[in-house]
Amino acid sequence: MANGANLEIIENSGPNNLRDALRAKLANASDVSIAVAFITESGLDEIIQSLRQAASRGKVRLLTGLYQRVTEPKALKTLLRVQRETRSNLSVRLSREPQFHRKIYLVENRTHANAIIGSSNLTREGLRSGGELCLMTSLSKSHRAYSRLKEVFEKDWHKRRAVPLTPDQIERYDKSRSASGNKDNYTANQLKKILGVDPKHEKAILKDEPITFWRDGITGYVKDRTEKIISESTNWDDKYYSWFGTSGQHQYRNGDRIFMFDFPANTFHLVEVKDMTRSSIPTPDGRHFVAFTRVGRRKRNMTNKFWNELSGFNIKKKNVRRTRKLRPSGVERLMSMLPTRKKRRRK
């Protein structure tokens, strides 16, 4: 790979497993940073001696969380004991993120760095069982990609996002975990009682994508067999979605808006695409189906007056059954065909 980086796939198959890869890299490590969602006693046992040895040469930092209550109190007690024995050369923190789900292993030696990212937690299954997949890269410590990974870890390690592990936290966590017996995630208040500080949950800031508008027509009802297949293969009934079949593949995406000419109901209204499916079983009405919900309550009966007004926009009744992507001018015209909302007068 360019810029002095090389890649290796670790799939936990035979000798190609994360446990052995980590042991090999930790053997001459001088700086170790690990962030994982789950730690179990059996998983920790696989590499604890390697971590001890690395802590005798340099710094080892281990960050984990309490997401879904999988991390074991016994493992935390072991880490706390090793932290004392190494005089904090190996240090442990708990994430304040309620849904902490990282799997990052950063291992540095005198000349270069190794980064392992993938699906494996610090559990026995994560280190040596199939079903996991990790990517390991060896590169310069000054490499831009490694610097970015180290920056992510440093932010997670900072006191604004994590707290040092204490015996009291482990005791509170152990009691709450034993009392619950399930793997549900903690509420903010529950996590606060364990950590002793407020949780800190961050969300991505998503860019608003422009809405794509279409016009389309529903011309009839699907067959009973089609309705049965879609009902059994989707959860659309549970979500109270309406749906229709398309004549073939379509270009709709979730969030698109469709000015719908519903001929069986004789109404014109605006809908939002909620889901799509391609049936694995052939149906009398094809394989492609689109689920939707109404946007607002505005609708209009498709009367002669309605069609006359529509013809003023050069849109004919026989053409609205075909799918069309709309330009802004077309959106404005069809929006004007819907009745405006009447304001209620105050008494």
Cβ atoms 80, 92 nearer than 8 A = yes
What number of other Cβ atoms are within 10 A of residue 219's Cβ?
11
Does this chain's domain 2-195 share its CATH topology with 213-335? no
Long-range contacts of 207-212 (CB under 8 A, 24+ apart): 209/255, 211/255, 211/256, 211/257, 212/253, 212/256, 212/257, 212/325
Segment 132-168, tens digit of pLDDT: 999 999 999 999 999 999 999 999 999 899 999 999 9
Residue among 329, 327, 335, 304 at smallest CA distance from 317: 304
Sequential pLDDT tens for the chain (347 residues): 445 568 999 999 999 999 999 999 999 999 999 999 999 999 999 999 999 999 999 999 999 999 999 999 999 999 999 999 999 999 999 999 999 999 999 999 999 999 999 999 999 999 999 999 999 999 999 999 999 999 999 999 998 999 999 999 999 999 999 887 667 789 999 999 999 999 999 888 878 788 999 999 999 999 999 999 999 999 999 999 999 999 888 999 999 999 999 999 999 999 999 999 999 999 999 999 999 999 998 999 999 999 999 999 999 999 999 999 999 999 999 999 999 865 555 55
Query: In a 10 Å sphere around its CB, with 0-12 CB exposed, 13-18 middle and 19+ buried, how is residue 88 labelled?
Result: middle
Q: Domain 213-335: which CATH class? A: alpha beta
- What is the domain partition of the chain in residue ranges? 2-195, 213-335
What number of other Cβ atoms are within 10 A of residue 71's Cβ?
24
Spatial distance between the Cα atoms of 243 and 236, rounded to a whole number of angstroms:
8
Task: Give the architecture-level CATH label for domain 2-195.
Answer: 2-Layer Sandwich (3.30)
Segment 81-107, tens digit of pLDDT: 999 999 999 999 999 999 999 999 999
Spatial distance between the Cα atoms of 179 and 136, rounded to a whole number of angstroms:
39
